């Protein structure tokens, strides 16, 4: 088993996507006059954390690229490590990911409706 980069797994991806979705949803609720301050603060906090994850990943990759250039000055690095024509499959990949995420969210919503949590006192 190999160790992965923290934040790049399925959990990190879902956290980043749902952090952005939560912010959009609460922004819409605020425009309709149904939003609350506490909910918006929570959405902003999660969206900021997801944005920080993206920025940290970007900075790490830039630092790695700089370090590799510095250590191997005589070895030129390509502009991209992706194979030619990689973007052709991007819409299909992105669409499948969105369908999976939508299916997961729909399943969770239906389960939440079918199996309500007991009231807290």
Instruction: Quote the pLDDT of residue 113.
Output: 84
Return the residue matching tokens 């609720």.
29
Identify the weakest region by mean pLDDT among 11-20, 43-52, 94-103: 94-103
Rounded CA-CA distance 112/104 in Å is 12
Cβ proximity of 19 and 50 under 8 Å: yes
Instruction: Quote the pLDDT of residue 30.
Output: 87
Q: What is the mean pLDDT of residues 10-35?
A: 85
Answer with the residue of higher pLDDT: 118 or 48.
48
């Amino acid at each position: 088993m190999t160790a992965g980069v923290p934040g790049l797994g399925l959990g990190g991806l879902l956290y980043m996507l749902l952090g952005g979705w939560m912010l959009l949803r609460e922004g819409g609720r605020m425009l309709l006059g149904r939003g609350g301050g506490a909910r918006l603060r929570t959405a902003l906090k999660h969206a900021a954390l997801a944005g920080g994850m993206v920025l940290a990943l970007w900075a790490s990759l830039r630092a790695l690229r700089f370090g590799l250039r510095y250590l191997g000055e005589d070895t030129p690095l390509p502009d991209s490590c992706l194979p030619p024509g990689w973007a052709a499959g991007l819409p299909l990949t992105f669409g499948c990911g969105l369908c999976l995420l939508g299916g997961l969210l729909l399943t969770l919503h239906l389960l939440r409706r079918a199996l309500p949590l007991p009231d807290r006192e």
